[in-house]
Amino acid sequence: MSAMLHPALSNADLLGLFAHFLVLSLLAIGGAITTAPDMHRYVVDEHHWISDAQFSASIAIAQAAPGPNVLFVAVIGWNVAGPIGALATMVGTLLPSTALTLVATRWGQRRRDTRFVRAFKTGLTPLTIGLLIATGWLLARPYVDFSVQGAGAIALIVVSIVLMLRTRVSPMWLVALGAVVGALGWA
């Protein structure tokens, strides 16, 4: 089986990759994207399996493709170890969260009017927002510097935040704006 693995990844590394994404799945409140900072820490900073640019590109490619948002996990796994890496990261991400969601949803549905269930749902909101902000910062960080393009990236981020908070503009228009600004070399 070792011959099928990416040259830089041993069986122990593959098991570690699977286990790490398995644990992250249980912390993915608000979706798998909220755990992107720790995925980055693990595959880029700690193990150096992929570069910072490859990590950001993995998320961008998967988010641009049709389908569920969790596909970025498979692209990261693919970039780390090919098809077996994609399988390890996706199964690691989907297995515990799917099982836990099924059990918790059934349990919560039967008890939806209890104080505990209402408080739990209310308490998850700030946690989810914080995790999404951390992910946004992680994805923006490589593009924010003191150059003209860095200033353009900061302006694009600010414009996007203001428009999302104050209008009902579709996020697709902001993605298109980002594509135009990037194609012109302004960010």
**Residues 103, 30 share a domain:** yes
**Residues 122, 174 share a domain:** no
In a domain, 161, yes or no: yes
Task: Tokens for 70, please give them.
Answer: 């969790």
Q: Do the beta carbons of residue 54 and residue 63 sit within 8 Å? A: no
Confidence band, pLDDT 50/70/90 cuts, at residue 2: very low
Q: List the domain range (segments joined by +) for residue 181.
A: 144-187
**Residues 112, 30 share a domain:** yes
**Residues 119, 79 share a domain:** yes
Tell me what percent of the residues of the chain surpass a pLDDT of 90. 41
Tally Cβ neighbours within 10 Å of residue 34.
Answer: 21
In a domain, 139, yes or no: no
Closest by CA to 159, choosing from 141, 181, 139, is: 181
In a domain, 184, yes or no: yes
- Structure confidence at residue 4 (pLDDT): 45
In a domain, 12, yes or no: yes
Number of folded domains that form the chain: 2
In a domain, 137, yes or no: no
Separation of alpha carbons 3 and 30, rounded Å: 37
Average pLDDT over residues 67-71: 86
Q: Do the beta carbons of residue 86 and residue 77 sit within 8 Å? A: yes
In a domain, 135, yes or no: no
Confidence band, pLDDT 50/70/90 cuts, at residue 120: confident
In a domain, 171, yes or no: yes
Which amino acid makes up residue 43? Answer: V
Taking only the tens place, the pLDDT of each residue in 5-55 is 455 689 999 999 999 999 999 888 778 888 999 999 999 999 999 999 899
**Residues 162, 112 share a domain:** no
**Residues 151, 120 share a domain:** no
Give pTM, 2 decimals.
0.63
**Residues 93, 29 share a domain:** yes
**Residues 157, 109 share a domain:** no
In the block, tokens 């790490």 appear at 20
Separation of alpha carbons 148 and 38, rounded Å: 29
- Structure confidence at residue 48 (pLDDT): 94
